[in-house]
Amino acid sequence: MRLKRILLDRRICRFVLVFYFFVALLPSTGEASLMESRLSTGEQMSERAEKIESVRKALEHRVVAQRLADYGLSQEEVMARMNSLDDKQLHQLASLSDEIGGGSSGLVIGVLLIVLLVVLILMVSDKRIVIQ
Amino acid sequence: MKRFFLILLFLCVALTACSIPRIVVLSDPLTAKEHNDLGVSYELMGEKELALKQYELAFKKDRNWDQPLINQGNVHAGMESWNLAEQSYRNALKRNSHNPEAMNNLAYVLIKQDKNREALNWSKKAVEIEPENPFFLNTYGWALLKTDSLDKAKETFLSALENSQEGSDLQEKIRQALVELEPQ
């Protein structure tokens, strides 16, 4: 009798209802499947986690060495610099290598300079540009 | 007058020769495949922006290859940029219209955006190509569930369960889906 009274108590019923309302609002944890990224060999990312680290180091090494060569360093200088870099520095340099030298803003400045020079030379040589 | 300008121009060039920016031609030492693999390694490290850049270099370098676009979509999906992920998978399907992984992943992001009808079409196509792939079956099951085809969804989830590896995360997901179907 006492138990029945407790179970049918209005406050308890209200609490249980509110509790279930919020539980029902929780999203389900089950969901559709997303296939992982794959290497060029067709292997999935998680399948080759250990191998991927060494692949990254080797590729970053090549990227940084190429950039140093692009900026005019000789083969010996490139080798010397590369040997002095640790993994962290190599990763930082590889991730910044496309921004070095101004990136897209450098290209815009270069194009503007060339256009300015062409216009100046044309002006000096009494030539005109006419757009019809 | 003309001679004056020419001398002035020459002087300007001569005086600023040292400060004129050098033109450096940057060459890319990596192939499309290597850019893709570098992107995968960055994705695994959690460096998502770097991964996106490498995938972009990969799919621009090889304009017929679809995998870097799928990988790019996966990074966007990981960042919950559903629109961008959807676009990447659609671009991948333009390059290879028979890639079931691109179809499945496109269905996944469509479900996330509540575009359930279209998700159903793509996931169905993926299952038609690989009818025993438990991941594709799971996605198809969810698309069916979201479009209220409950009996077909249950059947598909049971088939996915049958084909999935014992004790895997996927099996757990499928069981949760079946539980979700039970009270209905």
- What was the pLDDT predicted at A29? 47
Q: What is the pLDDT of residues B18-59, one digit of tens each?
A: 566 677 778 899 999 999 999 999 999 999 999 999 999 999
Q: Do B53 and A98 touch (CB under 8 A)?
A: yes
Virtual torsion, Cα A51, A53, A57, A63, nearest 10 deg: 90
**Is A94 exposed, middle or buried, given 0-12, 13-18 or 19+ CB atoms closer than 10 A?**
buried
How close A56 comes to chain B (CA, Å)? 6
Chain A residue with the nearest C-alpha to that of B99: A35
Mean pLDDT of B8-19: 69
Q: What is the pLDDT of residues B146-166, one digit of tens each?
A: 999 999 999 999 999 999 998
User: Which residues of chain A neighbour B9 with C-beta distances below 8 Å?
Assistant: 120-121, 124
Return the amino acid letter for A102: G
Chain A residue with the nearest C-alpha to that of B170: A33
Return the amino acid letter for B37: D
Q: Do B67 and A31 touch (CB under 8 A)?
A: no
User: Which residues of chain A neighbour B105 with C-beta distances below 8 Å?
Assistant: 34-35
Q: Which of residues 57-76 of B touch A (CB under 8 A)?
A: 67, 70-71, 74-75
In sequence order, the β-bridge partners of residue B122 are none
Provide block-wise average pLDDT over 10 residues at a time, chain A (132 residues): 65 61 49 94 87 92 93 90 89 77 61 79 71 62
Q: Which of residues 83-102 of A touch B (CB under 8 A)?
A: 95, 98, 101-102
Q: Do A59 and B36 touch (CB under 8 A)?
A: no
Q: What share of chain B is helix, strand, coil (3-state, %, to 5)?
A: 75, 0, 25
- What was the pLDDT predicted at A119? 76
Assess B136–A contact: CB distance below 8 Å, yes or no. Answer: yes
Distance of CA B72 to the CA centre of its chain: 4
Count Cβ neighbours within 10 Å for each residue of B64-87 and write b for 16 or more, e otherwise: ebbbbbbbbbbbbbeeeebebbbb
pLDDT band of residue B103 (cuts 50, 70, 90) is very high
pLDDT band of residue B109 (cuts 50, 70, 90) is very high
Indicate the SS3 state at residue A32: coil
The conformational region for residue B60 under phi > 0 = left, psi -120 to 50 = alpha, else beta, is: alpha
Measured between CB atoms, which of B26, B43, B134 is closest to A45?
B43
Return the amino acid letter for A61: H
Contacts (Cβ under 8 Å, ≥6 apart) of B116: B110, B143, B146, B147
Distance CA(A47)–CA(A49), nearest Å, equals 6
Q: Which of B78, B137, B55, B80 is nearest to B103 (CA)?
A: B137
Q: Does the predicted interface ipTM exceed a cut of 0.90?
A: no
Distance CA(B110)–CA(A8), nearest Å, equals 45
φ, ψ for residue A40, nearest 5 deg = -65, -20
- Chain-wide mean pLDDT for chain B? 92
Q: Which of A51, A78, A85 is nearest to B29 (CA)?
A: A78
Interface-testing mutation among A20, A26, A29, A35, with chain B (most B C-beta atoms within 10 A): A35
Question: B118 vs A130, which has greater pLDDT?
Answer: B118
